[in-house]
Amino acid sequence: MLILTGDPPCIIPPEEHPIRIGDIDRDALKILYRLRDAGFSGYLVGGGVRDLYLGKRPKDFDIGTTARPGQLRRIFRNSRTIGRRFRLVQVYFRGGKIIEVSTLRSLSEYDIEGDETKVLPQNNTFGSLEEDAFRRDLTINSLFFEIENSTIIDYVGGVEDLKQGVVRVIGEPERRFLRDPVRILRALRHAARNSFRIEDRSWEAIIRQRDKLTLCPSSRIRDELLRDLRGGASGNWLRLAVESGVFFVLLPCYAELRTDWPAVEGELLTLLGVCDRLHRLPLREEQSIQIPDAMLFGLLMLPWLRRRCALEQAAVGAARAEMLQQLRHALEEALGERFNLKAMIRDEMSTLLGNLPQLLQHGQAESGCPGWLRRKSYFRDCQRFLRLWQEAQGGDEVASELFLVTRKVDYAPLALVEPPSRVSADVPVTAPVSVESRSEQRRNDGRPGRPAYSPQSGGVFGLRRR
């Protein structure tokens, strides 16, 4: 059982930690200062504090506050509320930047006295700073930085674990993994990204509870796996996932290749190593490497598919059609329901993998490829996928420009913009407005506050229209 100690937190003064106000994203600082001016407490929380302490540039700056979602919406006109169970507020800035602000949360009832067999649902209970610290997954993710005195607030020993390079679950690992098995993936991720050691009790609990991952929604597992593949340390993640057995829970199709595992693992490490090199490239703040989901999953599945479908054998006519059909069935079997991949992504994977033999046969020269393939809309993506494959085979490094995306950044004095749901005529909106949201607005006739319904249980708000 996870019990709050009631002990005062450890307060680390600025002279004893490396984080400085100047290291924090200036838009995040704007939010923190505005919360202070409105009479609320605001803290930089979680991964942003962890990464700054380790000398890394955080990808996200999340903020926790004592303000409630409704109060946040009044403070930040450039915001909208998201989330089905726990309401988060997204604050929008020019250039498409989003910073998430959440109200401090308390422990879930399941973490205190819940049924031992239940998986933890997200809760919507607001709480204190201590409660918010103890409901988080890992000690190194449970730190708070406050701007008034530039101090770190530590309730769970996270700073010491950062110093020692240890990943430790807060509370009883067995119970915490049972409540939310996705915490297993997060523990592996942070150990892989930071080259940390997973504390013994947490590691043993991972091995015992790994099969519980099959109880989690497939969309959550998919999103967590994509974060691992894009984190720049997917090779380290693979080693930990294989050693713990988690890899074979996520992708049981690879279990049939255990007899040839050293060769298979070597192929996976070289393929993922290409992605890691690209994702670790030093870039400007407005730049990012974006390898499409279909390519990432394609690389992850390539060693298995090579043996299952004889991918490197170029085929024509009826033989090619048969190979493509076999490829689609294999992808459906391995990934269909397990990761809730959209049919579009599976089709893209089939296209990339199915045309790989043709491109390998004709080499990199575009002129050598068949005319019918050069005229296809997906030809450029197939070429990019080929470059990834060739680097893994010892070829030239893939040019970062093939996957580089630059977002427009406007450093105007006032960087706040309206959220997508509240567009004004004189303010350019960089965040996309979905077709669904527009149609929803038409159905609501502009009336705010009307609840959204889902035809199935577990939908938005969990309600069903009769």
DSSP-derived 3-state class of residue 100: strand
Check whether domain 173-231+234-275 has CATH 3.40.50.1100, yes or no: no
Q: Give the closest residue to 151 by CA, choosing from 5, 31, 21.
A: 21
Query: 143-147, 159-163, 266-270, 355-359: which range is least confident on average?
Result: 355-359
> How far does CA 378 lie from the centroid of its chain?
26
Would you state the pLDDT for residue 458? 46
Residue 67: phi and psi, rounded to 5, are -75, 145
Would you state the pLDDT for residue 361? 76
Secondary element (H or E) of residue 146:
strand 143-146
- 137 classed as catalytic: yes
Whether the per-residue pLDDT at 359 is higher than 70: the answer is: yes
Q: Give the closest residue to 269 by CA, choosing from 398, 397, 392.
A: 392
Confidence tier at 448 by pLDDT (50, 70, 90): very low
Query: 22-26, 135-139, 157-161, 409-413: which range is least confident on average?
Result: 409-413
Confidence tier at 5 by pLDDT (50, 70, 90): low
What CA dihedral angle connects 395, 399, 402 and 407, to 10 degrees? 150
CA distance 84 to 460: 5
Q: Do 18 and 53 contact (CB within 8 A), yes or no?
A: yes
Confidence tier at 415 by pLDDT (50, 70, 90): very low
Q: How far apart are the first and last CA of the chain?
A: 40
CA distance 95 to 26: 14
pLDDT per position as a tens digit, 33-91: 999 999 999 999 999 999 999 999 998 899 999 999 999 999 999 899 987 667 899 99
Between 113 and 258, where is the model more confident? 258
| Average confidence score pLDDT of the chain | 83
Would you state the pLDDT for residue 107? 60
- 200 classed as catalytic: no
CA distance 230 to 225: 9
- Strand 79-82 with 88-92, pairing: antiparallel
Domain with CATH 1.10.3090.10 in the chain: 173-231+234-275
DSSP-derived 3-state class of residue 394: coil
Would you state the pLDDT for residue 390? 93
pLDDT per position as a tens digit, 210-243: 999 999 999 999 999 999 999 999 999 999 999 9
Would you state the pLDDT for residue 367? 56
Check whether domain 1-164 has CATH 3.30.460.10, yes or no: yes
pLDDT more than 70, % of the chain: 78
Catalytic residue among 25, 137, 228, 293: 137
Catalytic residue among 51, 62, 132, 180: 62
Q: How much is the average pLDDT of 390-399?
A: 94
Domain with CATH 3.30.460.10 in the chain: 1-164
Would you state the pLDDT for residue 409? 59
Q: Do 63 and 42 contact (CB within 8 A), yes or no?
A: yes
Specify the pTM.
0.81
CA distance 241 to 250: 9
Alpha helices in 210-292 (DSSP H): 218-229, 234-244, 246-250, 261-279
Record the tokens describing residue 35, joined without a space.
């919360």
> Which residues on neighbouring strands pair with residue 103, listed in sequence order?
65
Confidence tier at 368 by pLDDT (50, 70, 90): low
DSSP 450: P
CA angle (301, 305, 308) in 5-degree steps: 145
Query: 8-17, 162-171, 294-303, 329-338: which range is least confident on average?
Result: 329-338
What are the Cα distances from residue 318, in Å, to 313, 321, 322, 359, 375?
14, 5, 6, 19, 21
Q: Do 27 and 97 contact (CB within 8 A), yes or no?
A: yes
- 154 classed as catalytic: no
Q: Give the closest residue to 177 by CA, choosing from 225, 124, 237, 246.
A: 246
CA distance 409 to 90: 18
Whether the per-residue pLDDT at 371 is higher than 80: the answer is: no
